[in-house]
Chain A
């Protein structure tokens, strides 16, 4: 090894094949990327919007005569979902605005800023929207108390508490994992 030319000759000696046409796998990937619904934020927005519509529908057409407390519960649940949809929309917009055509140094700063922002919105807004939703469902329970027998009321209450506890456990675990990943990413872009 005498100079950089020797290194270059090692590099040039590697075998490489010239493609004859665009492979099917790439064509599939392009088609998939073109579809908007493949974006995870859009998927979340669609699911959350359907849930909002479901809640509004049930409130309008099923529970026709309800108390003020019940309506506040419904509104609280809808508010939680709307906040989450707004956050997802912002995330989608910010991700979409990452411009791969920028010069690499600027692109690195953009990526870092994006992950810092995601870290910021991940923790407290998630807990806040979850709490709002739980409060909303809790208010509905007060109304259910009037209509359900003691057995069924207690049955649904216990079920509700169990679901909440399990969800808190999973959400905490997921947030912790996501924050660790984001910290790792932010550190990686300290180039």
Chain B
């Protein structure tokens, strides 16, 4: 295994894992499995990276496509996971953080596939231009869809918080 792949792995694993984790609504085992699959694909295609785009855009594209490729597996696993929204927010600060995160994941789960992809990338602070390049939508379309999905997410989060209040 060459050094450049090792560096690539160390520098990008966390981002890839977090993207997958958001996409699969917090299923850590599945996210890890998908992340490894992403790096297998990176290894197999590394010679095709031509510096025409940033390596990060290239990796995001592989990550998104790998998740899409395993959509059935993801859906099957998610059917087993019930809506992970907690009944009430805990008093303990750490627990509250975890529960809010679960709430966020449950809300992301409700978005459509493209919405999930876009929000995952936005939360990872991927620039809009890079998102457009990775998913193959126009800049304007990406902007509109991100805005729409942020709205849905915000609405879902607020209503869940109100339920917990």
Residues of A within 8 A of B (CB): 1, 3-4, 7-8, 10-11, 13-14, 16-22, 25-27, 29-30, 33-34, 100-108, 111, 181, 184-185, 188-189, 191
Contact = CB atoms under 8 A, between A and B. Distances in A.
B26 to A, nearest CB: 9
User: Which of B37, B58, B65 counts the most chain A CB atoms within 10 A?
Assistant: B65
B6 A22 contact: yes
Interface size class of B (residues with CB under 8 A): 35 or more
B29 interface: no
Q: Which 5 A-B pairs have the closest CB atoms?
A: A103-B136, A105-B136, A104-B135, A11-B123, A10-B100
Contacts of B68: 104, 107-108, 111, 189
Contacts, number: 113
Contact of A100 (B45, B71, B117, B158): B45
A10 B98 CA distance: 9
A75 to B, nearest CB: 40
Contacts of A185: 71-72
Nearest to A181: B72
A101 B48 contact: yes
A101 to B, nearest CB: 6
A101 B154 contact: no
Given A11-B101, A21-B6, A189-B71, A107 B65 contact: yes
18 contacts: A7-B104, A7-B154, A8-B123, A11-B123, A25-B36, A27-B1, A29-B37, A29-B40, A30-B1, A102-B61, A102-B65, A103-B133, A104-B65, A104-B68, A107-B65, A107-B68, A188-B72, A191-B114
B14 A1 contact: no
B39 interface: yes
Nearest to A34: B44
A153 to B, nearest CB: 48
Given A16-B18, A100-B69, A1 B158 contact: yes
B24 interface: no
Interface of B: 1, 5-6, 9-10, 13-14, 17-18, 22, 36-37, 39-41, 43-45, 48, 58, 61-62, 64-66, 68-69, 71-72, 75, 97, 100-101, 103-104, 112-114, 117, 123, 133-137, 150, 153-154, 157-158, 161
Chief secondary structure at chain A's binding surface: helix
A7 B108 CA distance: 11
B104 A184 contact: no
A33 B44 contact: yes
B14 A17 contact: yes
B41 to A, nearest CB: 5
B152 to A, nearest CB: 11
A191 B40 CA distance: 26
Contacts of A13: 97, 101
B86 to A, nearest CB: 13
Given A103-B134, A103-B135, A104-B136, A30 B150 contact: no
